Amino acid sequence: MTSALEELRDRISASGLLDEPAAADGIVFGRAHLESAGVDVMVNVDPEIQDDDEPDFDIDPLIEGVQRILSVNETRWRAIVDETATDIEEAVGESEVRERIDLRDDLEATSLVVFADATLVALVAPRQFPDSRILVQLDEDFEISGVEVVAKDGAEAAEFDSLDDLLDDITGGDFRSTDDD
């Protein structure tokens, strides 16, 4: 008897949507070509399995979600990139940008996470934000519902000698605790 996750993997494999799909850790994953962006991406299909013994989820919306994002037309993709760039440009100061070029030309999709009712797109902007990833959440209609710039995995950790030093770094100022030792 196959589990629901294995059935999802098998159906995705039969559809040809992902190259060599595999199932592990509650998701199905594989590579695919995102034609509208002109790049190959890693695709994770996440049925959002809870800690139940036997997961129970509807496979069809997940497969349809993968088909839809992989077949999004170039016009819609450019609109997603444009809106993402605009949101970031409005939120980020010039001092945080490493190289001044049009962000729209720097953004490149690297991975997708497909849920039954949303898609998360991970982008990089290697010239402007080399140490960050841009996460864009799309709703069922591929409208942007959130944009976030986050440090790439494996970012360097900073060490501080005291809590005051940490707070000084975070606040950018000369923070002193109210505790007098």
pLDDT in tens, 68-89: 999 999 999 999 999 999 988 8
- Contact by Cβ (8 Å): 27, 45: yes
Q: C-alpha distances in angstroms, 137 versus 3, 83, 101, 147?
A: 29, 12, 24, 6
Residue 95 has a pLDDT of: 52
| Model confidence band, residue 32 (pLDDT cutoffs 50, 70, 90) | very high
| Model confidence band, residue 177 (pLDDT cutoffs 50, 70, 90) | very low
- Contact by Cβ (8 Å): 39, 124: no
Q: Which one is predicted more confidently, 111 or 55?
A: 111
Residue 166 lies in a domain: no
Residue 111 lies in a domain: yes
Could you tell me if residue 16 is left (phi over 0), alpha (psi between -120 and 50 degrees) or otherwise beta?
left
Domain that holds residue 61: 4-151
Residue 171 lies in a domain: no
| Model confidence band, residue 165 (pLDDT cutoffs 50, 70, 90) | low
Does the pLDDT value for residue 23 go beyond 70?
yes
- Range from 58-67, 80-89, 156-165 carrying the lowest mean pLDDT: 156-165
Residue 79 lies in a domain: yes
> Average of pLDDT values for 135-142?
93
Residue 21 lies in a domain: yes
Residue 177 lies in a domain: no
Average pLDDT of every residue of the chain: 83
Task: Name the residue among 132, 169, 130 with its Cα closest to residue 148.
Answer: 132
Residue 128 lies in a domain: yes
Percent above pLDDT 70 for the chain: 75
Q: Which one is predicted more confidently, 1 or 46?
A: 46
Residue 23 lies in a domain: yes
Q: How many domains does the chain have?
A: 1
